[in-house]
């Protein structure tokens, strides 16, 4: 069956921008120079992106994220749209409250007008409101509107009592925290952060300095421009380097080119080639191989779940069928979210689910091939020894050459399986494609909540990073949904998207842990039994021999039993060692422990989700839900890294 691989995501550079408002003295005094510096930097970035285009691979338009606050954000938005970049606005509030807060009205009446979508009396406030409204209309907006009613009341109280320090402080703290959440969303979606900042205030949540430090903590490079000295961009790569901003290295063209290359073409393009070879050039198989299901047969026979000889044939879900198949539930749940973006469900259906089905099917087949290949090697090694000795108890010495030939063929077959597995790189390809599949399995849940793993927080493989690169750009292809995140949106996302996924994964790992622990114990018992039987057979032979020496039985009897005893004495320990080798190679016990720990972690997340839902909609906010989604992401990555630590060094090899 010929199945065409789904299209690869186009590489995309994503940028976040933060900076001072127009009221900042440095920006006010040097606005023209700052604007020129931003335009020049954006032009260089666009040129570097275009340099990476080739006949085989092009890039998607660069995506700019910012909060559309008057000042640097608007300067950057104007420069970006001139270059044809995509503009995305993760706003800390819904549109009306966002305009009301950032238009800076001086009176409660003007604020009420803005909150009602009307024009304020103050012309300066009106001008700022028009500017924000226009840019909001041009951007793809992901607005954190879940606390708008509460924050709007605090805002009114602040304006109603200008001298009330408590009211002013309460609104400032709450709105700053909300801005910090939006800033985190922006950072998670960006390859690098551009900041126009004078280095003065660092501890105001949601402020430019706070956003810069938050980005550095997440491993996101930051390009800094002091509005008092707009002729020099500086590069910050770690929070510890921020003690003295003026000591940061000056950003040169080579450093800028390296940043773009790391985002678009890691390892000088090697990852793109590997992704194409490992995934797109892999042979798609509609179902598993009966011959290569030996490893799963071991689990079925010793897992204690009954029907050990049931059919284990797996049918792999085709990429073009997953939308109507296993992916239908999450797509239906996404489409039903209050105020959801209908185009976003389509983006998940096109960009995420088919790539998951493709990598999952290929990885499943490679898993069977690699693990079953090693199990077969262990079994053949035992059978080779047994066949080589089988002529003795059968008293077919004159046909010894025939048994030796059988042993030889089995040994050659072991060599062939080992060579084939190494030649086709079953081990590495399984690891790599499984990493892609597991990242994408959880991706729709994270995407619908605007949650992502910043580039600096992705795991790094020992040999290659193309799986992480590929998965990251699959997620980037979808980006943020165009939606207003309300409490109703969050509640339904918890109930129909996040919680069912967590429960399904938790139950899967619980069952897996129990099955693998049972397999480990049963194989251990079987191996011990083989050795005990071997000891008993040798003991019986020695006893019979002694009885013959003492004359209590015919002296010919021990001689007649010697060949059979030798065969049994060698075969049983060989089988025991082979089974022990399978148990060691399969590492069922450690995999059971990994799944058990993962299930416990997921159960903790499910408990937190349940408690949040039980406390009512008023208790649900974006910060809490996003934290749960991040926790799920961490559990997924931890499980992948633990799993790799167990099997990473177990290459297909001779069972020696």
Give me the mean pLDDT over the 401-426 stretch: 91
232 and 346 inside one domain: no
Alpha-carbon dihedral angle through residues 370, 374, 377, 383, given to the nearest 10 degrees = -120
Are the C-beta atoms of residues 15 and 45 closer than 8 Å to each other?
A: yes
Residue located via tokens 């990885």: 363
Asked if residue 336 belongs to a domain, the reply is yes
- 337 and 231 co-located in one domain: no
- Report the percentage of the chain scoring pLDDT > 70: 95
Choose among 508, 514, 519: nearest CA to 587.
519
pLDDT in tens, 268-314: 555 555 555 667 777 888 999 888 899 999 999 999 888 888 888 99
Domain around 513: 291-647
| 300 and 155 within one domain | no
Residue 606 inside a domain? The answer is yes
Across the chain, mean pLDDT equals 90
Whether 149 has a pLDDT exceeding 80, the answer reads yes
More confident residue, 8 or 48: 48
Report residue 365's pLDDT band, with 50, 70 and 90 as the boundaries.
Answer: very high
Range 467-491 average pLDDT: 92
DSSP 50-106: HHT--SS---PPPEEE----TTHHHHHHHHHHHTT-EEEEEESS-HHHHHHHHT--S
Same domain, 228 and 314: no
Assess contact for 485 and 143: CB atoms under 8 A: yes
Q: Is residue 81 part of a domain?
A: no
pLDDT of residue 270: 55
Instruction: Specify whether 96 is located in the same domain as 169.
Output: yes
Pairing of strands 192-196, 14-19: parallel
According to the model, what pLDDT value does residue 464 have?
76
- Pair of tokens at residue 45: 């970035």
Residue 200 resides in a domain: no
Give the tens place of pLDDT for each residue, 197-212. Answer: 988 878 788 888 999 9
Predicted confidence (pLDDT) at residue 12 exceeds the cutoff of 70: yes
Q: Do residues 496 and 625 share a domain? A: yes
Domain membership flag for residue 265 = no
Give the pLDDT of residue 342: 87
Q: Are strands 233-236 and 222-225 parallel, antiparallel or unpaired?
A: antiparallel
Asked whether residue 452 falls in the same domain as residue 539, the answer is yes
Per the structure block, which two tokens stand in for 440? 């994408």
- pLDDT reported for residue 16: 97
In a domain, 2, yes or no: no
CA angle 440, 443, 449 (to 5 degrees): 175
Q: In terms of domains, do 222 and 342 share one? A: no
Residue 286 included in any domain: no
pLDDT for residue 379 is more than 80: yes
3-state SS of 570-636? HHHHHHHHHHHHHHHHHCHHHHHHHHHHHHHHHHHHHHHHHHHHHCCHHHCCHHHHHHHHHHHHHHH
Would you state the structure tokens that stand for residue 290, as one six-digit string?
């009966």
| Mean pLDDT across 607-617 | 92
301 and 179 within one domain: no
- Candidate from 95-99, 456-460, 471-475, 575-579 with smallest mean pLDDT: 456-460
Q: Where are the beta strands (DSSP E) in 521-569?
A: none
Count of structural domains within the chain? 2
Q: Both 612 and 491 in a single domain? A: yes
Contact between 523 and 616 (Cβ < 8 Å) = no
Task: Provide the token pair at 462.
Answer: 């020992």
626 and 534 both lie in a single domain:
yes
Confidence of residue 652 (pLDDT cuts 50, 70, 90): low
Q: Is the pLDDT of residue 651 over 80?
A: no
């Amino acid at each position: 069956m010929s199945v065409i691989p789904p299209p690869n995501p186009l590489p995309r550079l994503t940028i976040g921008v933060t900076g001072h408002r127009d009221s900042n003295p440095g920006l006010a005094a040097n606005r023209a120079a700052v604007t020129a510096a931003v335009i020049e930097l954006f032009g260089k970035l666009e040129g570097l992106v275009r340099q990476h285009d080739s006949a085989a691979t092009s890039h998607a338009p660069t995506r700019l994220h910012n909060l559309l606050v008057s000042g640097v954000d608007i300067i950057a938005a104007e420069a970006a749209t001139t270059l044809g970049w995509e503009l995305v606005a993760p706003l800390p509030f819904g549109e009306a409250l966002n305009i009301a807060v950032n238009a800076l009205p001086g009176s409660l009446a003007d604020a009420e007008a803005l909150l009602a979508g009307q024009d304020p009396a103050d012309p300066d406030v009106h001008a700022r409101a028009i500017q924000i409204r226009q840019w909001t209309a041009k951007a793809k907006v992901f607005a954190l509107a879940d606390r708008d009613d509460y924050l709007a009341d605090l805002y009114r109280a602040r304006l109603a009592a200008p001298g009330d320090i408590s009211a002013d402080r309460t609104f400032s703290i709450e709105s700053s925290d909300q801005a910090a959440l939006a800033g985190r969303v922006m950072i998670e979606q960006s390859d690098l952060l551009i900041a126009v900042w004078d280095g003065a205030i660092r501890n105001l949540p949601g402020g430019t300095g706070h956003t810069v430090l938050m980005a550095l903590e997440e491993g996101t490079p930051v390009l800094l421009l002091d509005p008092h000295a707009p002729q020099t961009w500086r590069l910050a790569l770690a929070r510890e380097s921020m003690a003295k901003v003026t000591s940061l290295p000056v950003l040169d063209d080579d450093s800028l080119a390296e940043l773009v290359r790391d985002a678009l073409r890691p390892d000088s393009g090697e990852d793109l080639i590997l992704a194409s070879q490992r995934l797109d050039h892999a042979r798609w198989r509609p179902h598993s191989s009966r011959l290569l299901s030996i490893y799963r047969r071991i689990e079925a026979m010793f897992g204690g779940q009954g029907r050990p000889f049931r059919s284990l044939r797996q049918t792999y879900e085709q990429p073009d069928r997953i939308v109507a198949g296993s992916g239908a539930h999450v797509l239906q749940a996404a489409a039903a979210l209050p105020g959801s973006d209908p185009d976003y469900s389509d983006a998940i259906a096109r960009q995420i689910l088919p790539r998951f089905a493709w990598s999952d099917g290929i990885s499943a087949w490679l898993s069977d091939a690699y693990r079953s290949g090693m199990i077969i090697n262990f079994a053949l090694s035992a059978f080779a020894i047994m066949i080589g000795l089988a002529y003795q108890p059968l008293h077919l010495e004159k046909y010894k050459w025939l048994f030796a030939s059988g042993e030889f063929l089995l040994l050659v077959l072991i060599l062939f399986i080992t060579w084939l597995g190494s030649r086709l790189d079953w081990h590495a390809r399984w690891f790599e494609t499984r990493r892609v599949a597991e990242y994408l399995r959880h991706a729709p849940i994270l995407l619908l909540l605007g949650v992502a793993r910043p580039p600096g927080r992705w795991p790094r493989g020992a040999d290659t990073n193309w799986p992480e690169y590929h998965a990251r750009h699959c997620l980037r292809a979808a980006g943020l949904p165009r939606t207003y995140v309300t409490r109703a949106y969050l509640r339904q996302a918890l109930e129909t998207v996040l919680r069912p996924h967590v429960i399904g994964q938790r139950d899967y790992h619980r069952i897996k842990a129990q099955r693998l622990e049972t397999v480990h114990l049963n194989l251990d018992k079987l191996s011990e039994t083989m050795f005990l039987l071997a000891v008993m057979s040798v003991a019986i032979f020695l006893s019979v021999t002694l009885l013959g020496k003492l004359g209590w039985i015919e002296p010919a009897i021990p001689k007649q039993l010697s060949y059979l005893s030798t065969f049994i004495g060698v075969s049983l320990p060989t089988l025991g060692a082979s089974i022990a080798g399978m148990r060691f190679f399969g590492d069922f016990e450690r995999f059971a422990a990994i799944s058990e720990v993962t299930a416990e972690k997921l159960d903790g997340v499910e408990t937190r989700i349940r408690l949040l839902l039980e406390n009512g909609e008023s208790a649900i906010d974006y910060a809490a839900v996003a934290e749960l989604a991040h926790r799920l992401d961490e559990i997924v990555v931890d499980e992948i890294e633990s799993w790799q630590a167990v099997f990473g060094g177990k290459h297909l090899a001779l069972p020696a």
